[in-house]
Structure 1
Amino acid sequence: MPTITYIQPDGTAEAMTVEDGTTLMRAAVTSGVDGIVGECGGQAMCATCHVYVRPEFAGRLPQIGDDEDEMLDCTTAERTDRSRLGCQISVDAGLDGIVVDVPADQV
């Protein structure tokens, strides 16, 4: 089972093990990670699961789809080249150990 680590703006890390196929958003919401809300339930329609993916994992992620790209322009926190919507990233063995930063403007 893959592990996800969420880093809060104050540097606090929260690591969790999840079932294959769990999205970054769903794992955060079910575990009560501050700053990840998932208001739309994972439909790429609210941008309340915006995270910054650490560069070492960027090459392992799926391409950004049109809906995600559009919503990333509507985030509370600044969009960067590391920005992704957590609801659009399903974790499996290929992303085991992924580390994401929660934007300060969402906490």
Structure 2
Amino acid sequence: MTYTKKTGEFTRIGDTVHFTIDITLSAKGSSVGSAQVAGLPYAKKANATSACAIYMSAVTSCVGDTALLAQVGAGTTTINPRKMVTGTATILTDADFTNTTILRLDGSYKV
């Protein structure tokens, strides 16, 4: 993958990390498989919840009644973006992205 924009900011207050991530692809390349955003500054507490707002544009399969969601994996520094279709959450894959996909994430989690 190549990017025209890949930025992130975070603030840690006590045991809570707040983050903002903005990614714009210029080419998705030959990447295949599940989508992940890696590199958060601290690992999420294993038994804590996380809250993420997600925005995407220029995508292939997230249309109509599809809801987007994302969560930080337990004990990791990785965000797993998902789509909810007819009540089932599935991890986004390379098939969901185009060469110009924009992905924005805002959220918080406990460490």
TM-score (norm 1): 0.37
Structure with the largest fraction of helix: 1
